[in-house]
Amino acid sequence: MGSSQAAVSFLTNVARAAFGLGVGATVVNSSLYTVDGGQRAVLFDRFRGVIDETVGEGTHFLIPWLQKPFIFDIRTRPHTFSSVSGTKDLQMVNLTLRVLSRPEVSRLPDIFKTLGLEYDEKVLPSIGNEVLKAVVAQFNADQLLTERPHVSAMVRDSLIRRAKDFNIVLDDVAITHLSYGGEFSRAVEQKQVAQQEAERSKFVVAKAEQERRAAIIRAQGESESAKLISDATAAAGMGLIELRRIEASREVAATLAKSPNVAYLPGGKNLLLALNPARFGYMGLLQ
Protein backbone atom coordinates (compact mmCIF):
# COMPACT_ATOMS: atom_id res chain seq x y z
CA MET A 1 0.00 0.00 0.00
CA GLY A 2 2.79 2.39 0.89
CA SER A 3 4.74 1.53 -2.26
CA SER A 4 1.72 2.28 -4.47
CA GLN A 5 1.24 5.68 -2.85
CA ALA A 6 4.94 6.45 -3.39
CA ALA A 7 4.64 5.52 -7.04
CA VAL A 8 1.60 7.74 -7.51
CA SER A 9 3.35 10.59 -5.78
CA PHE A 10 6.42 10.13 -8.01
CA LEU A 11 4.36 10.11 -11.19
CA THR A 12 2.48 13.17 -10.03
CA ASN A 13 5.74 15.03 -9.43
CA VAL A 14 7.03 13.96 -12.85
CA ALA A 15 3.84 15.18 -14.51
CA ARG A 16 4.06 18.51 -12.71
CA ALA A 17 7.71 18.88 -13.71
CA ALA A 18 6.91 18.04 -17.32
CA PHE A 19 4.03 20.48 -17.30
CA GLY A 20 6.25 23.18 -15.82
CA LEU A 21 8.95 22.52 -18.38
CA GLY A 22 6.38 22.65 -21.16
CA VAL A 23 4.96 25.90 -19.92
CA GLY A 24 8.46 27.31 -19.48
CA ALA A 25 9.51 26.22 -22.98
CA THR A 26 6.36 27.74 -24.44
CA VAL A 27 6.98 31.03 -22.65
CA VAL A 28 10.61 31.11 -23.73
CA ASN A 29 9.72 30.22 -27.31
CA SER A 30 7.06 32.91 -27.45
CA SER A 31 9.53 35.39 -25.98
CA LEU A 32 12.05 34.94 -28.84
CA TYR A 33 11.88 35.92 -32.48
CA THR A 34 14.49 35.79 -35.26
CA VAL A 35 15.25 38.37 -37.93
CA ASP A 36 16.98 36.76 -40.93
CA GLY A 37 19.58 38.33 -43.19
CA GLY A 38 18.22 41.05 -45.45
CA GLN A 39 15.34 41.73 -43.07
CA ARG A 40 14.41 44.20 -40.36
CA ALA A 41 11.70 44.04 -37.69
CA VAL A 42 9.29 46.60 -36.33
CA LEU A 43 7.80 45.96 -32.87
CA PHE A 44 4.22 46.74 -32.01
CA ASP A 45 3.54 47.27 -28.30
CA ARG A 46 -0.04 47.09 -27.05
CA PHE A 47 0.52 50.05 -24.73
CA ARG A 48 3.03 52.19 -26.63
CA GLY A 49 2.01 51.38 -30.19
CA VAL A 50 4.66 51.03 -32.91
CA ILE A 51 8.14 51.42 -31.44
CA ASP A 52 10.23 53.93 -33.37
CA GLU A 53 13.39 51.81 -33.30
CA THR A 54 14.05 49.24 -36.02
CA VAL A 55 15.29 45.81 -34.90
CA GLY A 56 18.24 44.37 -36.82
CA GLU A 57 19.23 40.81 -37.75
CA GLY A 58 19.52 38.07 -35.14
CA THR A 59 17.44 36.54 -32.31
CA HIS A 60 15.72 38.99 -29.96
CA PHE A 61 13.45 38.94 -26.88
CA LEU A 62 9.97 40.35 -26.58
CA ILE A 63 7.19 40.35 -24.02
CA PRO A 64 4.65 37.70 -25.02
CA TRP A 65 1.15 38.95 -25.85
CA LEU A 66 2.27 42.49 -25.12
CA GLN A 67 4.59 42.87 -28.10
CA LYS A 68 4.44 41.54 -31.65
CA PRO A 69 7.18 41.73 -34.35
CA PHE A 70 6.52 42.57 -38.03
CA ILE A 71 9.26 41.53 -40.43
CA PHE A 72 10.22 43.69 -43.46
CA ASP A 73 12.33 42.53 -46.39
CA ILE A 74 14.82 45.33 -47.07
CA ARG A 75 16.47 43.74 -50.12
CA THR A 76 16.02 45.30 -53.55
CA ARG A 77 13.05 43.83 -55.38
CA PRO A 78 11.92 44.29 -59.00
CA HIS A 79 8.49 45.61 -59.94
CA THR A 80 7.03 45.85 -63.43
CA PHE A 81 3.87 47.66 -64.48
CA SER A 82 2.40 48.96 -67.73
CA SER A 83 0.66 52.18 -68.63
CA VAL A 84 -1.26 53.54 -71.62
CA SER A 85 -0.41 57.23 -71.95
CA GLY A 86 -1.28 60.02 -74.38
CA THR A 87 1.45 62.01 -76.13
CA LYS A 88 1.53 65.71 -76.87
CA ASP A 89 0.14 65.11 -80.39
CA LEU A 90 -2.71 62.96 -78.97
CA GLN A 91 -1.27 59.55 -79.84
CA MET A 92 -1.72 56.62 -77.46
CA VAL A 93 1.49 54.86 -76.36
CA ASN A 94 1.90 51.59 -74.43
CA LEU A 95 4.78 51.76 -71.95
CA THR A 96 6.21 49.14 -69.60
CA LEU A 97 8.30 50.32 -66.66
CA ARG A 98 10.62 48.26 -64.46
CA VAL A 99 11.84 49.59 -61.10
CA LEU A 100 14.13 48.16 -58.41
CA SER A 101 12.91 49.31 -55.01
CA ARG A 102 13.65 48.87 -51.32
CA PRO A 103 12.38 50.57 -48.17
CA GLU A 104 14.35 53.20 -46.30
CA VAL A 105 15.45 51.24 -43.24
CA SER A 106 15.43 54.12 -40.79
CA ARG A 107 11.84 54.95 -41.78
CA LEU A 108 10.37 51.45 -41.46
CA PRO A 109 8.18 52.33 -38.43
CA ASP A 110 6.62 55.20 -40.40
CA ILE A 111 6.11 52.94 -43.42
CA PHE A 112 4.39 50.37 -41.20
CA LYS A 113 2.15 53.02 -39.67
CA THR A 114 1.05 54.55 -42.97
CA LEU A 115 1.27 51.78 -45.56
CA GLY A 116 1.77 48.43 -43.87
CA LEU A 117 3.86 45.49 -45.02
CA GLU A 118 2.70 45.66 -48.67
CA TYR A 119 3.87 49.24 -49.06
CA ASP A 120 5.41 48.76 -52.52
CA GLU A 121 2.32 47.19 -54.09
CA LYS A 122 0.21 50.06 -52.78
CA VAL A 123 2.48 52.91 -53.89
CA LEU A 124 4.63 52.04 -56.92
CA PRO A 125 1.91 51.24 -59.53
CA SER A 126 0.01 54.45 -58.78
CA ILE A 127 2.97 56.83 -58.77
CA GLY A 128 4.51 55.01 -61.74
CA ASN A 129 1.42 55.58 -63.89
CA GLU A 130 1.20 59.16 -62.69
CA VAL A 131 4.80 59.94 -63.62
CA LEU A 132 4.62 58.15 -66.98
CA LYS A 133 1.52 60.03 -68.05
CA ALA A 134 2.98 63.37 -66.92
CA VAL A 135 6.28 62.87 -68.77
CA VAL A 136 4.89 61.33 -71.96
CA ALA A 137 2.41 64.20 -72.33
CA GLN A 138 5.38 66.56 -72.82
CA PHE A 139 6.61 64.84 -76.01
CA ASN A 140 5.29 64.02 -79.46
CA ALA A 141 4.99 60.37 -80.41
CA ASP A 142 8.09 60.36 -82.64
CA GLN A 143 10.16 62.13 -79.98
CA LEU A 144 9.71 59.19 -77.62
CA LEU A 145 12.00 57.24 -79.96
CA THR A 146 14.42 59.94 -81.04
CA GLU A 147 14.80 61.32 -77.49
CA ARG A 148 14.35 58.10 -75.53
CA PRO A 149 17.40 58.62 -73.22
CA HIS A 150 16.06 62.05 -72.26
CA VAL A 151 12.57 60.64 -71.64
CA SER A 152 13.98 57.81 -69.51
CA ALA A 153 16.02 60.28 -67.45
CA MET A 154 12.96 62.45 -66.80
CA VAL A 155 10.88 59.43 -65.77
CA ARG A 156 13.64 58.18 -63.47
CA ASP A 157 14.22 61.52 -61.76
CA SER A 158 10.51 62.20 -61.30
CA LEU A 159 9.76 58.72 -60.00
CA ILE A 160 12.69 58.70 -57.55
CA ARG A 161 11.58 62.07 -56.19
CA ARG A 162 7.98 60.92 -55.94
CA ALA A 163 8.84 57.62 -54.21
CA LYS A 164 10.97 59.43 -51.65
CA ASP A 165 7.79 61.02 -50.29
CA PHE A 166 6.73 57.50 -49.25
CA ASN A 167 10.16 56.54 -47.80
CA ILE A 168 10.89 54.21 -50.72
CA VAL A 169 14.32 54.11 -52.35
CA LEU A 170 14.51 53.33 -56.09
CA ASP A 171 17.86 51.89 -57.19
CA ASP A 172 16.98 51.74 -60.89
CA VAL A 173 14.18 52.83 -63.23
CA ALA A 174 14.01 51.73 -66.86
CA ILE A 175 11.52 51.78 -69.74
CA THR A 176 11.60 48.20 -71.02
CA HIS A 177 8.89 48.37 -73.69
CA LEU A 178 7.38 51.08 -75.87
CA SER A 179 4.79 50.55 -78.59
CA TYR A 180 2.29 52.69 -80.46
CA GLY A 181 -1.33 52.21 -81.41
CA GLY A 182 -2.40 50.71 -84.73
CA GLU A 183 -3.36 54.04 -86.29
CA PHE A 184 -0.01 55.64 -85.52
CA SER A 185 1.88 52.59 -86.81
CA ARG A 186 -0.01 52.78 -90.12
CA ALA A 187 0.62 56.53 -90.29
CA VAL A 188 4.36 55.96 -89.76
CA GLU A 189 4.39 53.30 -92.48
CA GLN A 190 2.57 55.61 -94.90
CA LYS A 191 5.00 58.42 -94.06
CA GLN A 192 7.96 56.16 -94.79
CA VAL A 193 6.44 55.13 -98.13
CA ALA A 194 5.82 58.80 -99.01
CA GLN A 195 9.40 59.68 -98.09
CA GLN A 196 10.70 56.86 -100.29
CA GLU A 197 8.53 58.07 -103.18
CA ALA A 198 9.80 61.62 -102.64
CA GLU A 199 13.40 60.42 -102.69
CA ARG A 200 12.70 58.45 -105.85
CA SER A 201 11.15 61.53 -107.50
CA LYS A 202 14.20 63.56 -106.52
CA PHE A 203 16.41 60.94 -108.12
CA VAL A 204 14.36 60.97 -111.33
CA VAL A 205 14.51 64.77 -111.48
CA ALA A 206 18.25 64.76 -110.84
CA LYS A 207 18.77 62.11 -113.52
CA ALA A 208 16.73 64.14 -116.04
CA GLU A 209 18.75 67.24 -115.15
CA GLN A 210 22.01 65.37 -115.69
CA GLU A 211 20.78 64.03 -119.03
CA ARG A 212 19.77 67.54 -120.07
CA ARG A 213 23.17 68.89 -119.16
CA ALA A 214 24.86 66.04 -121.02
CA ALA A 215 22.76 66.76 -124.12
CA ILE A 216 23.69 70.45 -123.93
CA ILE A 217 27.37 69.62 -123.53
CA ARG A 218 27.15 67.13 -126.43
CA ALA A 219 25.45 69.71 -128.65
CA GLN A 220 28.04 72.30 -127.71
CA GLY A 221 30.80 69.84 -128.60
CA GLU A 222 29.22 69.03 -131.95
CA SER A 223 28.81 72.74 -132.63
CA GLU A 224 32.44 73.38 -131.80
CA SER A 225 33.47 70.46 -134.01
CA ALA A 226 31.38 71.74 -136.94
CA LYS A 227 32.83 75.21 -136.49
CA LEU A 228 36.37 73.83 -136.54
CA ILE A 229 35.64 71.82 -139.68
CA SER A 230 34.07 74.87 -141.31
CA ASP A 231 37.07 76.99 -140.42
CA ALA A 232 39.47 74.33 -141.74
CA THR A 233 37.46 74.02 -145.00
CA ALA A 234 37.42 77.77 -145.46
CA ALA A 235 41.17 77.89 -144.90
CA ALA A 236 42.27 74.82 -146.93
CA GLY A 237 39.44 74.45 -149.47
CA MET A 238 37.46 71.27 -150.23
CA GLY A 239 40.53 69.07 -150.18
CA LEU A 240 39.89 68.00 -146.53
CA ILE A 241 36.34 66.93 -147.36
CA GLU A 242 37.48 64.98 -150.40
CA LEU A 243 40.13 63.30 -148.27
CA ARG A 244 37.54 62.26 -145.70
CA ARG A 245 35.25 60.98 -148.50
CA ILE A 246 38.06 58.88 -149.98
CA GLU A 247 38.90 57.45 -146.56
CA ALA A 248 35.25 56.57 -145.96
CA SER A 249 34.98 54.92 -149.42
CA ARG A 250 38.11 52.91 -148.71
CA GLU A 251 36.63 51.66 -145.39
CA VAL A 252 33.35 50.70 -147.14
CA ALA A 253 35.23 48.87 -149.94
CA ALA A 254 37.38 46.99 -147.43
CA THR A 255 34.28 45.91 -145.49
CA LEU A 256 32.44 44.74 -148.63
CA ALA A 257 35.50 42.87 -149.89
CA LYS A 258 35.44 40.67 -146.80
CA SER A 259 31.82 39.59 -147.44
CA PRO A 260 31.34 36.56 -149.79
CA ASN A 261 27.78 37.57 -150.69
CA VAL A 262 28.65 40.83 -152.44
CA ALA A 263 29.22 41.09 -156.28
CA TYR A 264 30.77 44.13 -157.95
CA LEU A 265 29.07 45.69 -161.00
CA PRO A 266 30.89 48.45 -162.90
CA GLY A 267 29.09 51.70 -163.23
CA GLY A 268 27.77 53.29 -166.44
CA LYS A 269 28.30 51.60 -169.87
CA ASN A 270 31.10 49.45 -168.60
CA LEU A 271 28.40 47.06 -167.36
CA LEU A 272 28.40 45.32 -170.81
CA LEU A 273 32.14 44.78 -171.18
CA ALA A 274 31.93 41.19 -170.11
CA LEU A 275 29.19 40.20 -172.67
CA ASN A 276 29.70 38.37 -176.01
CA PRO A 277 30.39 41.03 -178.73
CA ALA A 278 28.75 39.03 -181.53
CA ARG A 279 25.57 38.61 -179.58
CA PHE A 280 25.66 42.24 -178.65
CA GLY A 281 25.90 43.16 -182.36
CA TYR A 282 22.99 40.89 -183.27
CA MET A 283 20.86 42.44 -180.66
CA GLY A 284 21.80 45.83 -182.09
CA LEU A 285 20.60 44.81 -185.51
CA LEU A 286 17.30 43.65 -184.08
CA GLN A 287 16.80 47.08 -182.65
By percentage, how much of the chain surpasses pLDDT 70? 77
Angle between helices 182-236 and 239-257 in degrees, nearest 10: 110
Residues 6+ apart with CB under 8 A from 33: 41, 59, 60, 62, 69
Per-residue pLDDT reduced to its tens digit, 247-264:
778 887 777 777 776 555
CA distance 231 to 272: 45
Q: State how beta strands 77-86 and 92-103 pair.
A: antiparallel
- Judged by average pLDDT, the poorest of 108-117, 203-212, 277-286 is 277-286
Question: Does the pLDDT at position 280 exceed 50?
Answer: no
CA distance 117 to 245: 109
Give the chain's domains with CATH numbers: 25-73 (no CATH), 77-180 (3.30.479.30)
Mean pLDDT value across residues 12-26: 67
Would you place residue 285 in the very low, low, confident or very high pLDDT band (cuts 50, 70, 90)? very low
Per-residue pLDDT reduced to its tens digit, 149-179:
999 999 999 999 999 999 999 999 999 998 8
- Output phi, psi for 262, to 5 deg: -110, 130
Mean pLDDT value across residues 29-42: 89
Mean pLDDT value across residues 64-78: 92
Mean pLDDT value across residues 170-193: 80
Per-residue pLDDT reduced to its tens digit, 231-248:
766 666 666 667 777 877
- Secondary structure (3-state) at 99: strand
pLDDT at position 194, please? 74
